[in-house]
Amino acid sequence: MKKALSLLLCAVLMLSLCACSAAETQTAVAATAAETESTILDAEQGQILLSALAEKYDPDAVVLKANSTEIPWSVFYYYIESNLTNFLYYGALPTDYSADVGDGLTMDRALLENVEEYVRSLTAGAEHSTLSAEELEADFAAYWDQLVDAYGSEATLMQDVKASGYTKNSLKYFYTTNNQMQDAFEHAYGEDYADLSDEMVARWVEDNGYVRAKHILLMTNDETLTEEDKAEKKQQLEDIRTELLAIEDDAEREAAFDDRMSIYSEDSGLMMYPDGYVFTSGSMVQEFEDAAFALEDYQLSEVVETSYGYHLLMGLPVEKDNVVEYDSSYNAVTVGNTVANEDFTDKLSTWSEDVTIEYTDAFKGFTIQSLFENYQSVLDKYSTLLSGDGMGSDGKLHVYPYGAAEECDTSDSAFIEAARYYESGHLILTIDGRDVAFCNVPARLWEQFKQSDVKGTFYKKYLKGNALYEIPGTPAGKEVVTVVEE
């Protein structure tokens, strides 16, 4: 469910604003889990069990109220699974959560408090949003209509929502809360951080020891360069420095520096950091770092030699639109963004103190451990349903689709005799008298298959030999046994 789940990722990203202490708790608990002698499940078994546990309760059953906000099971378990998945990062999932992780907390209670902290933070952010209930309702309705159009029908969309362990209500919660959190953030700091004060930026710079410097780099780490070549490069920077020192006005000197930097600098990072590098101690080679921290604003350094070559630096004030780094998607993270995120984390922490958690009667006394009761029987059942496709002792491939099935007309194909798609994501094609099975096929792909004019071509292009969908061990020319689990 690519389109719908991308939204949920946004909710997780927003949580990164307020989950620093939560992440520390997760790491500490995971480390304790790694040391415990309790039964542990490997990554494959652990993932199967976590998927199965999502169905332990009605997805819309209200687990708790955070002030007046109702948190259903599908949302509550989303946070539990996020925490438990951290164990799988270490390679195993424990089944016993009674270990002591310090401060009088068991692993069970530490994980549950971590979930409650997430809920409190999102609730606190939502309560400081300026968006009205009517605006939120209209916005989600428009978003839902877009999803329906993208998937072709509401029934098809709901198949993917359900298959991913969510309901329309939980999807609405994540979408709405994410919008409220973003609105609270923008309301606190303004568009493009316009309301972020210079005092806050200056305090952040001082507290964290940041500095900004531009530089002109002439590289000397090319083995083909002679000593004379290197000496010429150094002299070139000395000459540029002399020219720049003759300019008394700071703004004019910086403009002239930029002009020469664009012409002469051989720094590969110039395109991404045209306004210079914003960094703290330990980020750069020592000679560069020492020179940068010694400079006043708009002051020029002497020519500095590092393992890269010769540098001429100019010290500059750190401003909120300066780039600190780039995230994993190569989006620029500015000083303003960094300062605002850290300050918003503090705000959320303060606001969260006013959020009261109250479990409903059905979930009072809930523990993480209770999810793992009879885990082996659950694992056995879902191992069959989720990953049990394989060769049986009869030499035939056994496939275990479940849920509602739909068929489509394949009379336009010369060799595909029948096609049926199950709610579980299994697609079974009858080709030349035998069944060919695929798993984890998105409902959207099934819709495209049904609507394709030449189904045989579609099969060869998107399904045949596709490792994402083809069930390992599918025997060419051998019988596939389809076992339907209602």
Q: Per residue in 403-462, pLDDT tens? A: 888 999 998 888 899 999 998 888 999 988 888 889 888 888 898 899 888 888 889 888
H runs (alpha helix) in 65-151? 73-89, 107-127, 133-151
Tell me if 287 sits within 8 A of 304, measured CB to CB.
yes
Judge if 211 and 189 occupy the same domain.
no
More confident residue, 31 or 263: 263
Is 199 inside any structural domain?
A: no
Q: What is the pLDDT of residue 28?
A: 57
Judge if 369 and 394 occupy the same domain.
no
Q: Which of 92-101, 157-166, 261-270, 387-396 has the highest mean pLDDT?
A: 261-270
Judge if 64 and 177 occupy the same domain.
yes
Is 299 inside any structural domain?
A: yes
Tell me if 119 sits within 8 A of 357, measured CB to CB.
yes
| Residues 6 or more apart in contact with residue 401 via CB below 8 angstroms | 422, 424, 426, 428, 482, 483, 484, 485
pLDDT of residue 54 exceeding 90, the answer is: no
Hunting for tokens 């009869």 — which residue is that?
Answer: 394
Judge if 315 and 175 occupy the same domain.
no
Report the 10 Å Cβ neighbour count for 7.
15
Beta bridge partner(s), residue 421: 406, 427
In this structure, of 87-96, 156-165, 181-190, 304-313, the range with the lowest mean pLDDT score is 156-165
Tell me if 172 sits within 8 A of 5, measured CB to CB.
no
Judge if 344 and 312 occupy the same domain.
no
More confident residue, 48 or 140: 140
Burial class (CB in 10 A: 0-12, 13-18, 19+), 350: exposed
Judge if 91 and 181 occupy the same domain.
yes
pLDDT band at 177 (very low <50, low <70, confident <90, very high): very high
More confident residue, 324 or 32: 324
Residues 194-221 pLDDT 10s: 999 999 999 999 999 999 999 999 999 9
Q: What is the pLDDT of residue 486?
A: 57
Is 112 inside any structural domain?
A: yes
Q: What is the pLDDT of residue 113?
A: 94
Judge if 396 and 348 occupy the same domain.
no
254: nearest Cα among 318, 169, 313, 208: 313
Is 234 inside any structural domain?
A: yes
Report the 10 Å Cβ neighbour count for 54.
18
Judge if 41 and 157 occupy the same domain.
yes
Q: What is the pLDDT of residue 388?
A: 61
pLDDT band at 314 (very low <50, low <70, confident <90, very high): very high
More confident residue, 50 or 18: 50
d(CA 294, CA 299): 9
pLDDT of residue 366 exceeding 80, the answer is: yes
Judge if 227 and 247 occupy the same domain.
yes
In one-letter notation, the amino acid at residue 64 is: L
Q: What is the pLDDT of residue 424?
A: 82
In angstroms, the first-to-last Cα distance of the chain is: 22
| Residues 6 or more apart in contact with residue 389 via CB below 8 angstroms | 397, 398, 399, 400, 437, 439, 471, 472, 473
Judge if 131 and 25 occupy the same domain.
yes
Is 71 inside any structural domain?
A: yes
Q: What is the pLDDT of residue 337?
A: 93
Structural domain including 160 reads 2-194+339-377
Judge if 310 and 393 occupy the same domain.
no
Mean pLDDT for all residues in the chain:
86
More confident residue, 165 or 281: 281
How many structural domains comprise the chain? Answer: 3
d(CA 156, CA 441): 13
How far CA 104 is from CA of 110, 119, 302, 357, in Å, comes to 10, 22, 57, 21
pLDDT band at 482 (very low <50, low <70, confident <90, very high): confident
Number of residues in the chain:
486
Is 183 inside any structural domain?
A: yes
Is 333 inside any structural domain?
A: no
Is 324 inside any structural domain?
A: no
Judge if 92 and 228 occupy the same domain.
no
Q: 177 is written with which tokens?
A: 């809360």
What stretch of H or E contains 218?
strand 210-219
Question: 257: domain CATH number?
Answer: 3.10.50.40
More confident residue, 401 or 113: 113
Average pLDDT over every residue of 52-71: 93
Average pLDDT over every residue of 174-190: 93
pLDDT of residue 347 exceeding 80, the answer is: yes
pLDDT of residue 4 exceeding 60, the answer is: no
Beta strands (DSSP E) in 375-460 are 390-391, 397-399, 405-408, 416-422, 427-431, 434-438
Q: What is the pLDDT of residue 15?
A: 40
